[in-house]
């Protein structure tokens, strides 16, 4: 489809626009209110305020005077080389969120790339029109035209203004294009200041640690141990790049939270974050889930469906348990990573996407490569920037911090007062090896809050596998085992209360020192461990 382009200067009312105003009524619509429109736009921009509020008013004025069906103002973020819809008219928030383009992609991307305006007389006939927002409908909008102009200041192209509506006269399309160019010139300075502020904010955030004395810490991850501080530094370094990241660690350590932190702290955090668990589906449907399918591609494909790569376009795709993919699926994934293109199942049409890939696994991929169960070329593509998450047993005091967090969270969810975690229970939490990591601790604390009575979580509220000290007393769970756990708790709490003083602990428990000594021997408790505790 041939596009109509123009390069008329937008720093003043052009002769084309000035002359057209006098006879615009003969084109089927009267444009006698264009001068008031431009005057009102100028006043709105001069009044200041946030760019979002300013552009919303500008779009409302355009709808009122130009009768547009839809309109959008996009901004070009050079740092991540993407174009986003900043404000729109006639689009739902969900539709506007989908409007992410790369330079050269679609009509909007072409305007950014060429720095020239484009008129599309009939959207339905133009292959460049992507309908990425999903707002356009062929039946109702088949006769719509689309006009898009760049927002330029100096040598910088900073975004676009686009409108969609029906035109019955080609001259009227050119007239409105001129109007949009003038509006683009009016708002250009405000757009430039907004983009500069964004760059400055990102620079300040990136340098907070060395200059402000504050260390970077993702908001969605809990823990301050030295091993996690190292992970935070890696997240900070890689977030602002588009590098592929391989997140490694045992099951339950929080690999998805790390992936989320990388996305949220990236330059393109406004784009989608799509999660896909490679181990959750059978091999027969993996390809369809990742790449989508056409209607009738296989039994049960009753309609076209977008895959995860399409859904993640303009954002991040997180492939969890990537080590579980079959060799066939690995081959297809390798191609997408290399070429950033793919075909839906049942289609010959090649689709291109702009997606950042984060992958995670608990498997040893290098060992799998040696065994021939994981492609070596895919391994090196994924392993550009590995981040290994330490297991919970290596995170020291983070165990108690996480326990307190889950304790407060589940108490709030259950509508009860936050219970105190008794000293014996804390010791058990610290001494346990946590094979299930943070996920296991979360489940343990949810159970403990449910069982807690009188405002305390005691050791006997914890699962039996956390209690190795008294587990040997009985072969099975029963009354004796439960009584032993209660007795153990009371003794250790008394020792902690009196800082290891056996005599005072015995008096507190209303028993002789010798009787307490026999029980210390029975439960293998060393009173010296409690000296200095408060």
Two structure tokens written together for 330: 């690995």
212 occurs within a structural domain: no
**CB neighbour list of residue 159: distance below 8 Å, 6 or more residues apart:** 73, 74, 75, 76, 83, 86, 112, 150, 151, 191
- Please check whether residues 50 and 179 belong to one and the same domain: yes
Residue 376 confidence (pLDDT): 94
Look at residue 219 and tell me if it is in a domain: no
Sign of CA dihedral 238, 244, 249, 255: positive
What distances in angstroms separate CA 42 from CA 185, 187, 191, 301, one per listed residue? 10, 8, 14, 52
Nearest to 234 by CA among 252, 247, 222: 247
Domain that holds residue 295: 226-390
Q: What CATH number is attached to the domain comprising 198?
A: 3.30.450.40
Claim to verify: residue 172 and residue 247 sit in the same structural domain: no
Give the per-residue pLDDT at 302: 74
User: How is residue 453 annotated by DSSP?
Assistant: B
Residue 256: predicted pLDDT: 95
Give yes or no: residues 114 and 56 share one domain: yes
Residues 431 and 369 occupy one common structural domain: no
The domain boundary residue, chosen from 167, 202, 237: 202
Q: What is the pLDDT of residue 427?
A: 79
Query: What pLDDT shows up at residue 413?
Result: 92
DSSP 524: T
Residue 214 is predicted with a pLDDT of 59
Smallest CA-to-CA distance from 21 within 13, 32, 37, 10 is with 32
Looking at the fold, whether 286 and 149 belong to one and the same domain comes out as no
Same domain, 377 and 489: no
In a domain, 381, yes or no: yes
SS3 356: strand
DSSP string, 229-280: HHHHHHHHHHHTS---EEEE--TTS-HHHHHHHHHHTSTTTTS-EEEEETTS
Spatial CA neighbour of 169 closest among 2, 68, 27: 27
pLDDT by residue, tens only, the chain of 534 residues: 555 544 333 344 455 455 555 555 555 566 656 677 888 888 888 887 788 888 999 999 999 888 899 999 999 987 667 788 999 999 988 788 778 787 888 899 999 989 999 999 998 888 888 887 888 888 888 889 999 999 998 778 999 999 999 998 888 888 899 999 999 999 998 898 888 777 666 555 555 444 444 578 898 999 888 889 999 999 999 998 888 999 999 999 999 999 999 999 988 788 899 999 998 887 778 888 888 877 766 666 677 788 889 898 889 999 999 999 999 889 989 988 888 888 888 778 888 888 899 999 999 999 999 999 999 999 999 999 999 999 999 888 789 889 999 999 999 999 999 998 887 788 788 888 899 999 999 999 999 999 987 788 988 888 877 865 554 554 455 667 777 777 887 888 788 778 788 888 898 888 888 888 888 888 888 787 776 554
Same domain, 300 and 426: no
Query: Domain for residue 164, yes or no?
Result: yes
Q: What pLDDT score was predicted for residue 6?
A: 44
User: Do 92 and 166 fall within a single domain?
Assistant: yes
Residues 65 and 141 in one domain: yes
């Amino acid at each position: 489809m041939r596009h109509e382009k123009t390069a008329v200067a937008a720093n003043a009312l052009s002769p084309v626009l000035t002359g057209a105003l006098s006879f615009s009524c003969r084109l089927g619509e009267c444009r006698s209110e264009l001068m008031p429109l431009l005057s009102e736009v100028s006043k709105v921009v001069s009044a200041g305020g946030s760019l979002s509020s300013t552009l919303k008013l500008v779009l409302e004025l355009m709808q009122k005077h130009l009768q547009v069906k839809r309109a959008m103002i996009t901004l070009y973020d050079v740092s991540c080389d993407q174009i986003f819809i900043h404000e729109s008219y006639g689009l739902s928030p969900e539709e506007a969120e989908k409007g992410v383009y790369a330079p050269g992609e679609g009509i909007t991307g072409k305007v950014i790339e060429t720095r020239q305006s484009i008129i599309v007389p009939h959207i339905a006939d133009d292959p460049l029109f992507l309908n990425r927002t999903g707002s356009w409908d062929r039946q109702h909008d088949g006769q719509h035209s689309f006009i898009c102009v760049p927002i330029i200041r100096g040598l910088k192209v900073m975004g676009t203004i686009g409108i969609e509506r029906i035109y019955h006269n080609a001259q009227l399309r050119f007239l409105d294009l001129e109007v949009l160019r003038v509006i683009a010139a009016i708002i250009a300075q405000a757009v430039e200041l907004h983009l500069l502020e964004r760059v400055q904010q990102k620079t300040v955030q990136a340098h907070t640690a060395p200059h402000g004395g504050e260390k970077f810490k993702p908001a969605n991850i809990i823990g301050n141990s030295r091993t996690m501080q190292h992970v935070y530094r890696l997240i900070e370094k890689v977030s602002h790049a588009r590098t592929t990241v391989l997140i490694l660690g045992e099951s339950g350590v929080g690999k998805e939270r790390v992936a989320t932190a990388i996305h949220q702290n990236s330059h393109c955090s406004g784009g989608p974050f799509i999660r896909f668990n490679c181990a959750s589906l059978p091999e027969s449907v993996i390809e369809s889930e990742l790449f989508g399918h056409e209607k009738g591609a296989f039994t049960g494909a009753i309609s076209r469906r977008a895959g995860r790569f399409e859904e993640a376009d303009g954002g991040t795709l997180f492939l969890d348990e990537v080590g579980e993919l079959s060799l066939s699926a690995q081959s297809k994934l390798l191609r997408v990573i290399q070429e950033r293109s793919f075909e839906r199942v049942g289609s010959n049409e090649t689709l291109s996407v702009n997606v950042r890939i984060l992958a995670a696994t608990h498997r040893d991929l290098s060992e799998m490569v040696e065994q021939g169960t994981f492609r070596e070329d895919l391994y090196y593509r994924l392993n550009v920037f590995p981040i290994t998450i330490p297991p919970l047993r290596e995170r020291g005091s983070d165990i108690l911090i996480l326990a307190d967090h889950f304790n407060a969270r589940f108490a709030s969810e259950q509508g009860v007062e936050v219970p105190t975690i008794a000293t014996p229970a804390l010791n058990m939490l610290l001494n346990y090896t946590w094979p299930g990591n943070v996920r296991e601790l979360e489940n343990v604390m949810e159970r403990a809050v449910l069982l807690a009575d009188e405002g305390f979580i005691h050791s006997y509220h914890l699962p039996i596998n956390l209690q190795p000290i008294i587990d040997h007393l009985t072969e099975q769970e029963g009354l004796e085992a439960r009584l032993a756990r209660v007795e153990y708790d009371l003794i250790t709490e008394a020792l902690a209360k009196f800082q290891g003083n056996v005599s005072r602990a015995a008096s507190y428990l209303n028993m002789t020192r010798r009787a307490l000594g026999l029980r210390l021997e029975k439960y293998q408790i060393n009173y010296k461990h409690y000296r200095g505790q408060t």
